Structure 1
Amino acid sequence: MANLWSSLLHLLPLATPLSLSTTTAITHPSPGFPMVINTWGGPFTVATDAAYESLNASAFLSPLGDNNSSRLAPKTAALDAVQLGCATCEAAQCDGSVGFGGSPDEQCETTLDALLMDGATLNTGAVAALRRVRDAVGVARAVLDHTSHSLLAGDQATAFAVQNGFVEEEIGTVDSARSCREWRDGGRCQPNYRLDVTPDPKTACGPYAPTEQAKTSSLVEDNNKKKRYQVGHDTISMIALDGAGGMAAGTSTNGASHKVPGRVGDGPIAGSGSYADGEVGGCGATGDGDVMMRFLPCYQAVESMRRGLTPGEAAADAVRRMTRRYPDLAAGLVVVNTKGEHAGAAAGWTFTYAFRGGGMGATRVVTVPPINGAEDHGVEI
């Protein structure tokens, strides 16, 4: 009987991707190794360059300080490169949406989310709603290296960071404080993420309380009511491949502007913000994290490549799975396989991603129009 079931299972088709017969994202050839690829061009390319150049360094001096050199272990090299790339973006405050001093919440505080994932072991380390520590991706690395946990959050994550030598300090800035004051005092807290509360969140600030209607309403979600807005909200998600079997992925963000305090997006969620499996490939994502984390799009894309889809097919399929349920979603995915072949797919906005590999002297940026708009023709610039 067991043999019969085994034979039948081999005859069953694998789950098919959604709408694969329609437009898919373009899969670009590998530039060679080592390789780094990440969400967004523009100011985010400083991260691409930093990570690539660290991977491209052939050796390092031994801790003993002698003349002996040794090759970085592949998984360590890739993981270190992703950490360095994301940390570079944090320090540069890429587009105001990564690192300190950006995206203040309702109470004018900036909090940080970050994730690192080792593609060799699938081990992850992440922090969410991290307070008063600037090096979020560094704390995520400490979670990965020095605990058997995957995710720490809030004040407890801050305490862990301090125990591990990180500095606790103010991570807001004059600009973030001014931005929050303008939103609260001049804009009457418009727009915001509150629903079914009183006073009316469309005209007033809190403190808020649930309305009587909300207390007695159905638990069935109304997608139209749950439409969200985006306020300059971006994320860096990066994948590094060293060509010798090492692969890693990571994400860093300060989240959505004016979020409800305590909100955590998809950035620190493995399989949503980013994902890496050294046997298959990796993925990085950005967009409306509150929706995207429900689909684990990066895990979906990597698993689709495991089943034989190209990076372009996998990326487009993962985006369509989300837009089928949330047509107004803003999302962007960058996907790469173990060969270094890469693609992006987007919905709701024009997405860009950056990559550098092989002997490339500079980072290149690929522009990806939304697949739910005009036909997707990835443009390399």
Structure 2
Amino acid sequence: MYNRRKFIKISAAGASLAALSNSAVAKAISSTTDAGFPIVISTWDFGIIANKGAWKVLSTGGRALDAIEAGARIPEAEDITNHTVGRTGLPDRDGHVTLDSCIMDENGNCGSVAAMENIAHPISVARLVMEKTPHVMLVGDGATQFAVEQGMKKEKLLTPESEKIWKEWLKTAKYSPVMNIENGKKPGDKYNHDTIGMLAIDAKGNISGGCTTSGMAFKLHGRVGDSPIIGAGLYVDNEVGGATSTGVGEEVIRNVGSFLVVELMRQGYSPEDACKEAVRRIIKKKPETAKQIQVGFLAINKKGEYGAYAIQSGFSFAVCNAQQQDLLIKGKSFY
């Protein structure tokens, strides 16, 4: 029970807080920004161009969610050399280019699309699912239909170059993805694993994330990896941080990888250590399989600290903040 003395003490404390000047508040905001945000991080080398698109939003005080969409749209459509994301993605073994994507904001809202054809910007469709429907995920023809209803253009995604690579692959039709794109030797190998996962913190300290891919080249028609699955390819908790993944999605799904990384950060792990532990668990469950595949995680915490870890060497990620817009870091690895 409160007595008069306690009431006076609490009231005085409240009055002291209310008396903070505007300059003191401004100083607090400034110190938060100096601590590490705005910031955006993305998987792989082509994360640099995606980050630059996101930075145009973040640097002007924009929302992290808007930055994620703006950044992801660049590799989806403008990078014609990237055959793992968007309209230049390689097809499945039947010649269909199917796209997967998801997005998640600071309030826990999320949306995704999977196995969607004929729409170049799955990240934007995922956001529309989040904002315009009561659902989290739309797939296949339903996702395409929804995108068209929302005013998005339907177009052929199989480019002449991608079709040429696919037809060359059909000569052997051997499915043997390598661990990193730079190691590819056979048609399609060097395009087989890349996903762009993005995480951003805006000037207000709010976190959002996105993930977009065309999936594994020459996959079975209808295959969906981890990228559009909330908790696997992406997870954001605005109180803790966010995580995203790349590589063989089946193993990420089996371990609910991105959710795991965020929960480890909640327990006090650094972003890098959380990613490392998630990788360790994949290896522990399937040690022989893990030697033949690549999975990498990228994470950021509420302070703006970031880190990554992968099964195999060769994984890279891009960082963009007020100090540098084109920083590329080679992630640490188990092997």
TM-score when normalising by structure 1: 0.72
Which letter does structure 2 place at the counterpart of 1:363?
A: D
With a CA cutoff of 8 Å and minimum separation of 6, indicate the structure with the bigger relative contact order: 1
- Provide, for residues 105-130 of structure 1, a one-character-per-residue CA deviation record: whole Å limited to 9, x for no partner: 011111100100012x2111100000
Q: Any idea what SS the aligned residue of 1:37 has?
A: strand
Q: Any idea what SS the aligned residue of 2:222 has?
A: coil
Q: Any idea what SS the aligned residue of 1:343 has?
A: strand
User: Which residue of 34, 39, 44 maps to 2:43?
Assistant: 39
Which letter does structure 2 place at the counterpart of 1:39?
A: T
Q: Determine the C-alpha separation between the residues in 1 that align with 2:285 and 2:43.
A: 24
Q: Determine the C-alpha separation between the residues in 1 that align with 2:116 and 2:270.
A: 36
Runs of 4+ with deviation above 6 angstroms: none
Aligned position for 1:286 = 246
Q: Any idea what SS the aligned residue of 1:258 has?
A: coil
Structure 1 residue 365 displacement after superposition: 1.1
Q: Conserved in 2, the CA contact under 8 Å of 1:31 and 1:340?
A: yes
Which letter does structure 1 place at the counterpart of 2:309?
A: A
Which letter does structure 2 place at the counterpart of 1:161?
A: A
For structure 2, list consecutive stretches of 5 or more residues without a partner in the other structure.
1-33, 178-188
Aligned position for 1:219 = none
Which letter does structure 2 place at the counterpart of 1:303?
A: E
Structure 1 residue 192 displacement after superposition: 6.2
Q: Determine the C-alpha separation between the residues in 1 that align with 2:132 and 2:191.
A: 35
Structure 1 residue 349 displacement after superposition: 3.4
The equivalences for 1:57-136 within 5 A come to 57-58=60-61, 72=62, 77-93=63-79, 95-119=82-106, 121-136=107-122
Structure 1 residue 231 displacement after superposition: 5.2
Q: Determine the C-alpha separation between the residues in 2 that align with 1:32 and 1:39.
A: 19
The equivalences for 1:1-381 within 5 A come to 32-41=36-45, 43-58=46-61, 72=62, 77-93=63-79, 95-119=82-106, 121-184=107-170, 186-187=171-172, 189-191=173-175, 232-327=192-287, 328=290, 329-357=293-321, 359-371=322-334, 373=335
Q: Determine the C-alpha separation between the residues in 1 that align with 2:42 and 2:332.
A: 17
| Alignment RMSD | 1.7
Q: Conserved in 1, the CA contact under 8 Å of 2:82 and 2:88?
A: no
Aligned position for 1:210 = none
Which letter does structure 1 place at the counterpart of 2:245?
A: A
Identical-residue share of aligned pairs (%): 36
Q: Any idea what SS the aligned residue of 1:172 has?
A: coil
Q: What is the aligned length?
A: 286
Q: Any idea what SS the aligned residue of 2:162 has?
A: helix
Aligned position for 2:21 = none
Aligned position for 1:200 = none
Which letter does structure 1 place at the counterpart of 2:263?
A: E
Q: Conserved in 1, the CA contact under 8 Å of 2:245 and 2:298?
A: yes
Structure 1 residue 311 displacement after superposition: 1.1
CA shift in 2, pair 1:262/1:181, >3 Å: same
Which letter does structure 2 place at the counterpart of 1:84?
A: A
CA shift in 2, pair 1:230/1:298, >3 Å: farther
- Provide, for residues 43-62 of structure 1, a one-character-per-residue CA deviation record: whole Å limited to 9, x for no partner: 3310011102211014xxxx
Q: Determine the C-alpha separation between the residues in 2 that align with 1:370 and 1:146.
A: 40
Structure 1 residue 363 displacement after superposition: 1.9
Q: Determine the C-alpha separation between the residues in 1 that align with 2:151 and 2:39.
A: 31
- Provide, for residues 230-277 of structure 1, a one-character-per-residue CA deviation record: whole Å limited to 9, x for no partner: 853200000010131311010000000000001101000011111111
CA shift in 2, pair 1:247/1:283, >3 Å: same
Structure 1 residue 32 displacement after superposition: 2.2
Q: Determine the C-alpha separation between the residues in 1 that align with 2:294 and 2:207.
A: 27
Q: Any idea what SS the aligned residue of 2:48 has?
A: helix
Q: Conserved in 1, the CA contact under 8 Å of 2:233 and 2:244?
A: yes
Q: Determine the C-alpha separation between the residues in 2 that align with 1:331 and 1:258.
A: 19
Q: Determine the C-alpha separation between the residues in 2 that align with 1:192 and 1:252.
A: 22
Q: Conserved in 2, the CA contact under 8 Å of 1:192 and 1:258?
A: no
Which letter does structure 1 place at the counterpart of 2:68?
A: V
Q: Determine the C-alpha separation between the residues in 1 that align with 2:155 and 2:271.
A: 41
